[in-house]
Structures are given as structure tokens and as C-alpha cells.
Amino acid sequence: MSTLYKGKVAFITGGNGGIGLQTALDLGKLGLRVVIGSRDAERGQAALDKLLAAKVEAEVLTFDVNQAADHQAAYDYFEQRYGKLDVLVNNAGVQLEVEDLVPMNNSSTVTPDVLRETFDANFFGPIALTQRLLPLLLESPEGRIVNVSSVLGSLTVHANPESSIYDVKLLAYDASKTAINTFTNHLAHELRHTRVKVNSAHPGWVKTKLGGKYADMEIEESSKTSVMLATLPADGPSGKFFFQESELPW
């Protein structure tokens, strides 16, 4: 187990499974203390048990990104225990439109309820949480914010007939990821004279419940981009969109 990042604290929302849990595991192996947010207390405890079994320093918070009271509770938790937060990974999110990602375009049929629920979890919730925790991130010597996005949020890639996602257009999900990318770009600009870096991560098309049965990436590979952005050096980029080492177009 590495001690390179000993003393640093990371909060990963949606950390009880899938990409979030893998991110917590890999950050923990680097020496960070990881705190996972889980809406379900039982699933959160099960995930915590896995992290502790892997010798990771870990904690769990019952946390729903859509609940303002949970944002305040998270702030109180980190402020009272650590007086700072070094890494925030906005990983929690939803995709409500299809069971499996397939070529489709639902722009004329997606319902207002699906749009609102998707934006609540993927856009409004992460922004409100980030704003609440930002004072603690500014207390860190090297604050890092990672917004887990998707290549499906790239308008440039969507507009390219040669791209692999050209025929996969889920309006609510894609638009929510385009929106969180805008937040990344704007917040990074606001914080450009601070030590906090803000970037968006495309984890890949991962074999999770959200990714569906046609996904081609194993869960063990899914955290690479988030981990890289969470541990950027002082001269690393901010306000960018990455898949692993490659910068993606907005």
C-alpha cells in the first residue's frame, strides 16, 4: 500500500458500487483516506467492508446527492473531522432512458419527468454539493474536483458522423453531461488563481448497471481517469475533459 498521498482525504459520491467503489479502492491503495457516499446504508456498509478488507483507510456516509441536508451533513463531517477536503469525486449519477445503451434518438419522446430527474442527479445535485464543500477544498494544499461525465456529453463528438456515438443520443443523460462539463469549464476559470483544479472525466463504457450489457470496459479499468485527475500535480491541467491520458473535445 502506497503512502504517497497519506493524510489526504477524498469523498466519492455514489461510492457503494461500480465505478465509484473502484475509484475509492484505487485512491485508497495510493494512501488516501476515502469516504464513500451511499444512499443505502446497508449497501454502503457492504462496500466499506470490501474497502477495509483491502486494507484501505475508509469511511462511509449515508448520502443522497439530491438532498441539501445531506450536503450540509457532509460539510459538517469533513469540517469537524479533518478541517479540509482534498478530493471531491462527483461520481453519483443516473441514466433513466434505456436499459442498455444502443443506437437510438429519443429527443422527440423523452418526458419532462425524466429530464428533471436526470438533471437533478447529474447536474443540480453535484453543483450544489460542490459549492457547499468548496470552502473545505480551498483549505487543501492541493484541492481536486473530478466531475464524472461521459463522452456522450461531447457535442463535438456527437456532431461527427464518423464517431462511435453518432447514433447514440439519449437527450436527458447526454444533455446533463454536457451541462456538467460546462460547470467544470466555468468553475475552473473562477478558481484559476487558487490551488484547486477542476476537470471532467469520461470513465469509458463500463460494464455496470448504468453501462448496460454491451459495454466493453471491465470495472477494474473504470477508475483510471478519475484517479489520474484526483492526484494531479501542481502543474497539472484544470478545466479540461479527459479519458485516461487523452483530452476530449467539449
Q: What tens digit of pLDDT does each residue of 127-143 get?
A: 999 999 999 999 999 99
Catalytically annotated residues: 173
Burial track 177-200 (b if 16+ CB lie within 10 A, e otherwise): bbbbbebbbebbeebeeeebbbbb
Q: In a 3-state reduction of DSSP, which class is residue 52? A: helix
Question: Is residue 124, in this structure, part of any structural domain at all?
Answer: yes
User: What does the pLDDT average to over 37-45?
Assistant: 97
Question: Is residue 189, in this structure, part of any structural domain at all?
Answer: yes
What residues does 217 pair with on adjacent strands? Answer: 206
Question: Is residue 247, in this structure, part of any structural domain at all?
Answer: no
Q: State residue 182 phi and psi, 5-degree precision.
A: -65, -40
Asked if residue 9 lies in contact with residue 84, where contact means CB atoms within 8 angstroms, the answer is yes
* The model's pTM: 0.95
All three cell numbers of 15, joined, read 461510492
Question: Is residue 74, in this structure, part of any structural domain at all?
Answer: yes
| Structural domain boundaries enclosing 203 | 9-242
pLDDT score for 206: 53
Q: How far apart are CA 115 and CA 210, in angstroms?
A: 16
Indicate which CATH number applies to the domain containing 46. Answer: 3.40.50.720
* Number of domain units in the chain: 1
Q: pLDDT per residue over 9-29, tens digit each?
A: 999 999 999 999 999 999 999
H/E run at residue 224: helix 224-230
Least confident stretch, 103-112, 167-176, 211-220: 211-220
Question: Is residue 168, in this structure, part of any structural domain at all?
Answer: yes
The pairs formed by 110-116 with CB atoms below 8 angstroms and a separation of 24 or more are 110/170, 110/171, 110/172, 114/172, 115/171, 115/172, 115/175
Question: Is residue 249, in this structure, part of any structural domain at all?
Answer: no
Question: Is residue 2, in this structure, part of any structural domain at all?
Answer: no
All three cell numbers of 246, joined, read 487523452
Question: Is residue 231, in this structure, part of any structural domain at all?
Answer: yes
- With a cut of 60, say whether residue 220 has pLDDT above it: yes
User: How close are the terminal C-alpha atoms of the chain, in Å?
Assistant: 36
